[in-house]
Each structure stands twice: as structure tokens, then as C-alpha cells.
Structure 1
Amino acid sequence: MLRRTFNSLMVSVALFSLGAGAAIAEETLKVGVSASKTGPLTAGATAVYWPNMQLWVHDVNQKGGIKVGEKLLKVELVEYDDKSGPEEAVKNIQRLATVDKVDFIVAPYTTGINLAAAPLIARYGYPQLIATGNANELETFVKRWPNSFWLLGKASDMSTGVVGTLKTLRDKGQIGNKVALAHVGEAFGLEMIQSAKPAFKTAGFDIVYETSYPIGTQDLAPIISGAKAAKADAFVAFSYPPDTFALTEQAQIQGLNVDAFYVGVGGALSGYAKRFAKQAEGVLAMGGINPADRAYKDYRERHKQVTGQEPDYWASPVVYASLQILQQAIEKVGSKDRAAVTKAISSGTFDTVIGKVSFNNNMLGRVWTVGQWNNGVLQGVNGLGVDGANAPIKKPAWN
């Protein structure tokens, strides 16, 4: 009797173990992610990039997963910190591809890191859906790396958007002709200034002050004092989030009361409006959105519910859209075949939170370039192929 009971117990344990093993070995879709969790790029990545990874995995897995052929596979994220540096990002991607053997890799955060990682991502055959970067000469880039897709368009789209917005204000007699320019000395800032300077000159603006600063610079007061001394009518900074906040603070402290004040990445963050409150009114920033768009409103509410954070008014929905595109391409192909998925991305049309998306020569032709803060919302005032733009207005003086 004891022996029969013991044998029954051992059979039960064996069956339990087999069941547990089967659960552990359940097939998933492994998706690799490398982006900043430490270093100077952390603020932007924490606000824009990582929450959308969380939201997407939640949304996909809540519905049972991604349909791959006859299987419904839940997403398993494999995450690494690139420490805000391209060298670490390259090492992470190498590990994701060769050690973790992930099925797909999400494009990294920022222009510079995407440019640095592109050759390695291409070598391993992963599609690279770049939602937080832009550059000039993209035709040459995508010809060399045809697996790369650019959702924010060219840097020149952004810079000419700024120039066009200031020209509209000037033509209305709301601002003068003198512009002060500043840019972060990193790939993003260099790409932006390269296309902005000739565009300003072609439009007849007078660049009365120009400077650059290293990424991670703490003291930006000299930049504002230089622009003030030059008696600029408009201030334009192609900046990253910490710089965007610091330059705005210094402009208020020093009383740089230009009629147009523009900042780069980070100016579209919900935290920008919270930090500066009424002082944010009339500030121009890279990005923008049509806040009345139903898809964006639904996405924004879901983002807050799942992540506990408000998304920004520019890149956040673009990051999420890039993940939707990847998911829909995988489901269309019905397999983890990366080459086939890349081909499906290049030729397909996708339903996303930023509308229907399709690529022309691996570039997205619809993008917001400039927004302006109005009652706590960054309303788009300039863009390509987008609807719902408002007319820009002269910025009120700092209170």
C-alpha cells in the first residue's frame, strides 16, 4: 500500500514537472531592445521610448499575442541599457543578435545611435524602424541600408519647417529678421544645423548669432546671453531634452524676450508644459500633433492608464506606430522571416495611431515638424502631409 502510494506520488510529481517545463518552454516572439536607461539621453528615452515598449507589449499580450502563421505568440522583451552611447549600443545589438538570438530588434533611441547601429542591424538582417531619429541624405542611406525605415522624415524637413514657420510670422509683421541659432554637438544637432543655415539664408533671415555645445553641457547661460547681446528677434535651438529645459529657464532668467522662441527634442514633452506652465505659452518646439485626432486621443488615454505617464505631443505616438507596423508586417508574412518582414514593411500600408502609414523609398512622407504650446497642448503649426495645423502666433513676453 505504501509502495503504491509512493509510486503514485512520483508519477504526479513527474507529470507536474513536465507541465511546468512545458510552460517554461512556451514559444514566444523575442524582441530585443537597446536604449538609454542611464546617461544624458535618459530623460528623453524615459519619457518617449521605454513607456511605449511597455504599452505595446501590454496591448499585444493582452489580446493573446502576435499571430505568426497558425500560432499566437506573446511578446518577450529582452532589454539592455546603451548608457547613452553608440559603442554600448553596438555591443548590445551584437549580443541580442548572437547570444539572445532575438527574432526582431526595435530601432534604438536618437539619430546618432541609430546611425551607428545601422550597419550591424543590417548585417543580421533585422528591419530597422527608426522613430526617434532623422538625417539628411536619406536617399543615400537607405540605398546602402535598405532595411532601414525613417518615420520622422529628413532633418531638412524639420529645419525647413522651422524656417517656414518663422517666415510666416515675419511676413505677418509679427517678428523681425534677426535669428540666433544654437545646436547640440551630436549627430542630431549637426544634421539639423547643416540644413537649417542655408534655408534661413535663402529665406532672407539674418543669422546674428550662432553657437554649438557638447552633449551633456550643464551651463547653457552663455548661449542665452550671447543671443540677447546679438539683439535677436527669434531664438532657435536644435537641442536635446535637458538642454531644452535649461535653455528655456535661462531665457526667462535673463529676460530673452524674443518674438519667436524655438527648442528641439523635449519641447514636445507633457512635462515641458507642466514645468513652465503659462510661461510655455507661444513657445515653438520640434514636433506637434493634431490634438483633436481621435486615434491620438485614444492612444493618449491608454498610454496614461497603462504606463502612468502622459505621452508627448510628437515622437511618442510615432514610436508606438513603429511597433504596430512591425507587428502587422509579421502577421502579414505569417512567419519570423526577417527578410520577408522587411519587404512587407517597404511595400505595405499599415493602420497606426498616427493614421495610415506607407513608405516611399523607406521614408514616411507625413510628419509634424513644428508645434506651438497653447493652453497646455502642443498644437501642430507646420508639417508635411498632415491635417489640422494651426497658424503660428507671436510669442508673448516672459512674465
Structure 2
Amino acid sequence: MSWNSRIAAGFGAAALCSALMAPAAAQDVLKIGASVSLSGPFAREGQLLRDGYDLWRDTVNAKGGVKVGDRTYKVEIVYYDDESKAPTSARLTEKLISEDKVSFLFGPYSSGIATATAAISERYRVLTLTPMATANSLYARGYKYIFTPSPLADAGLHPLLSLATTFSPKPTRVAIVGPDDLFPNVTSAGAVKKAQEMGLEVVYADKYPKTATDLSAVATQIKSAAPDIVLATGYAQDTILLFKSMQELRVQPKMLGVAMSIGVEDFRTALGASAEGLMGVDYWVPTLSYQDPLFGDSKGFAKAFEAKYRKPPTYHAASGAAAGVVLQLALEKAGRLDSDAVRSAMLALRGQTFYGPVEFNEQGVNVKATLNASQIVGGEPKVIYPESVREVAPVFPRQQH
């Protein structure tokens, strides 16, 4: 089937394209709310997520707005800073709904925070896109109004483990470590289970307080376990601290990987030369061939992002923009703003965005979501897995620093 027929069958591209070309005059406003972390420990990731939300808004508005039924809407996003705190985000989410009167919500960064906000949006029956909240438990609560275009957390390190089994000689001893928080805990548990299923020996699996400021004891424990592979499930800030502690103690595994942050520029900058050879999981990379009617394809999104922000996009930003595309497609399909109608349209979507394939189950999980892996080569992340989108061959063992 051709790309055009795939999109037409899955999303109704003709209707969407006509919506994008509709005149901007006398438009109504589609108000979307977003409580995201713009300060606190998740500020890096929260800003990247907001960048994606904003690029979708600006792109769709520049093309005429969103067509819903016989009306065309200009998109407005109302933001609040949740300060990386779940109670604050829950309070601000209620404010967005009850005071700002938003029609839909874009979710926060962090599964822990989203667990708090989802209870609010569910009570008010406000449909929410949560691209960077992927803990399995969030989607096992029976909620009807949350949807994520991203893969769930328990599979977050599977690409790196699968890649490890292809190396010769095969690394066999694995250490898995991260902060005691919802997403890292789910990712760690999924990685331990997968590693054991693959016949790898998990020689260390532990967590540290998410507010820890000294991880030298953790690094010492990892060194004593003598792993071939160290996989970190933490966020940018604590992972930098962990890796610097490991470097000071000369902990030098053959393979070093992260579940997050591989594409975050200031994460790599903070690690300096020691970032070379680091592997990490990406939810999205620009070399993917997925397509949609708004950005065209992954390269088209990357080009638009670089034109606006003067830097390459990360998967955090891509997931945010993809959430907007998915909502837009569901709105066009539903033909009205009612959350239940849009939810039904969301469940009926079949096709692609530039971010990847889309098909939601009743729990709001994208059952077609994909994962990739990259490695820092020459200071920049390059795709190494799967082989179908590989930019460079993986370097193993990692050069010691």
C-alpha cells in the first residue's frame, strides 16, 4: 500500500489537509492546558517537552488551525510550571480545568507527576495526552481519558539488552541502577526480568533516593559487582552525578547505557569526553521513515524544530509534537470537542505520525510504539539499533576514559 493510501485509510488525510489550509479569519480558540516542569530536577526534560508542544501549536496555526466539524480553531496552550512536584502539578491541573476552562490537557514530564494529575483529569473527564509519562501502572488503573503515543516503561532498556546479545565476546554480567521513582523503578524491573530471560547474570540491581546528592557509595557497590554492562534508569541530573562518581572510582564497564537523556545536549556536555561510547534508548530519531500530513516525516519535523530552536530535537520534544498531531487527528475524526467523542476517535486511529505507528488500546496505550538505541560517537548520538535505521555500527567494548 502506498504512503498516501495508508494515511488516507488510517487518518483521513484529505480532511486533515483541508483543515490545515482553512483561512484563519474569525477563528475560535482551542484552549489546551499543560502543567510541566520548568524548574526543579525535571526542568531540562520539561522544557524539551514544552518545545515539542509549542512547535506543534505554531505549525498547525501557521497552516490555518484545526478543523473540527464546520469550525476552524486556533490553538492556544496555557502553561504553568509544576516545579517538578506532583502535588503542585495536580493543583495546577485542576486550575487549568476549573479556572482556565481548557478543553484538553497535555501531560507533564514524569510518570510520578502524571499519576497525580491523571486522577484530576479523570475526575473532570478531560482527555489528556501524556507522551512522557509511560509507567505501566498509570495505564492499569482503568482510566479512560489518558493516552500516550510512547512505548511503556517496562520495555525501556530492552533495545540495549537485545543489542548486547549480538556482541562477541558476549557480555554476561549486568548491573541495573536508578533513583527510587516510578518510571525508573518500572524500567529497572523490566530490565532485570528481560536480562534474566536472555540468560544474562544480574550481578547488581538497586535504587538510590531520588534526591541523593552523593552517589559515591552506589558507584563503589557497582565496582565491587564487576559488571560487563551498567544500565542506568535515572533522569539527567542524577545520572550525571552517578556517572561522575563512577568515573572517579574508575568503574569502567564494557558497555554503559541509559534509559533516558542520550539525546539531551547539556547532559552530554556535563559528562564531557566520558560520554563517548555511551549508549542510550531513544523513543524517536530523525532517521525514521514514519510520515504524517502535518510535518511530512521525521526529517521534516527535525528540520522544522531546528529552524525554530536552532538545535536538533530530542525524543522528548518529538513526543510532545506527536501528542499534538494525535490530538489533532482525533479531533478531525470526531468532528466535535466532546471528550468522549474524541476518545472514541482516538481509539479508532490507525496509521502513523512522524513519531511512529499509532494504534491505541482501551487503556490509552499505543500498542504499535517503537524504541531505538543510539551511541555517542564523536560527541553526538548516532543510531545503532535496530539495524534497519542504523547510522553507524555500535562500538563495543566501550573505550575506557
TM-score range, shorter chain: 0.7 to 0.9
SS at match of 2:359: strand
Q: What secondary structure does 1:252 align onto?
A: helix
Q: Match of 2:327?
A: 326
Q: What residue identity is the alignment partner of 1:116? A: A
Match in the other structure for 2:38: 37
User: Greater CA deviation, 208-217 or 318-327?
Assistant: 208-217
The counterpart of 1:167, out of the listed 157, 165, 168, is: 165
Q: What is residue 260 of structure 2 aligned with on the other side?
A: 265
CA-to-aligned-CA distance 1:112-147 (integer Å, 9 cap, x gap): 112222222122222222211222357633xx1122
Match of 1:222 in 2: 217
CA distance in 1, matches of 2:199, 2:165: 9
Q: Which amino acid aligns with 1:394?
A: F
Give a deviation string over 1:37-83, Cα, whole Å, max 9, x none: 1211112112x211112212211222222112232221122111111
Correspondence for 1:280 among 275, 281, 299:
275
1:6 aligns to what?
none
Q: Residue 377 of structure 1: CA displacement? A: 4.3
Q: Larger C-alpha radius of gyration, 1 or 2? A: 1
Equivalent residue, structure 1, for 2:399: 397
Please state if 1:179 is matched with 2:180.
no
Q: Distance in 2 between matches of 1:374 and 1:345?
A: 39
SS of the residue 2:28 aligns to: coil
Give the structure 2 partner of residue 203 of structure 1. 198
Q: Distance in 2 between matches of 1:190 and 1:355?
A: 25
Q: Structure 1 residues 63 and 288, CA, compared in 2 at 3 Å: closer, same or farther?
A: closer
Give the equivalent residue in structure 1 for 2:376.
373
Question: Retained in 2: the 8 A contact 1:320–1:353?
Answer: no
Identity %: 25
Does the residue aligned with 2:331 lie in a helix, a strand or coil?
Answer: helix
Partner-residue secondary structure (3-state), 2:165: helix
Partner of 1:305: 307
Deviation at 1:165, TM superposition (A): 2.6
Match of 1:82 in 2: 82
Structure 2 residue runs of 5 or longer lacking an equivalent are 1-25, 290-296
What's the CA shift string for 1:241-276, capped at 9, x where partnerless? 112222333333332221110123212223344444
User: How many angstroms apart in 1 are the aligned matches of 2:228 and 2:254?
Assistant: 6
Residues 300-353 of structure 1, C-alpha deviation per residue, up to 9 Å, x if partnerless?
2211221344311x3321221111111121122222111111111111135422
Paired residues of 2:151 and 2:371 also in contact (CA < 8 A): no
With over 3 angstroms needed to count, the CA separation of the structure-2 counterparts of 1:387 and 1:339, relative to structure 1, is farther
Structure 1 residue aligned with 2:119: 119
Q: Which amino acid is 1:32 matched to?
A: G
Shift of 1:235: 0.8
Aligned to 1:98: 98
In 2 relative to 1, CA 288–145 (structure 1 residues): closer, same or farther, beyond 3 Å? closer
CA RMSD of aligned residues (A): 2.5
* Closer, same or farther: CA 27–151 of 1 in aligned 2, 3 Å: closer
Q: For residues 332 and 148 of structure 1, what CA distance do their matches in structure 2 show? A: 18
Distance 1:178 1:107 in 2: 37
- Structure 1: 5+ residue runs without aligned partners? 1-24
Cα distance, 1:29 vs structure 2: 0.9
Partner residue, 1:339: 340
Q: TM-score, normalised by structure 1?
A: 0.83
Task: Work out the CA distance in 1 between the residues paired with 2:188 and 2:287.
Answer: 32
User: How far off its partner does 1:387 sit?
Assistant: 4.5
**How far, CA to CA, are the matches of 1:49 and 1:118 in structure 2?**
18
Q: CA deviation at 1:298?
A: 2.0
1:134 lines up with 2:134 in the alignment: yes
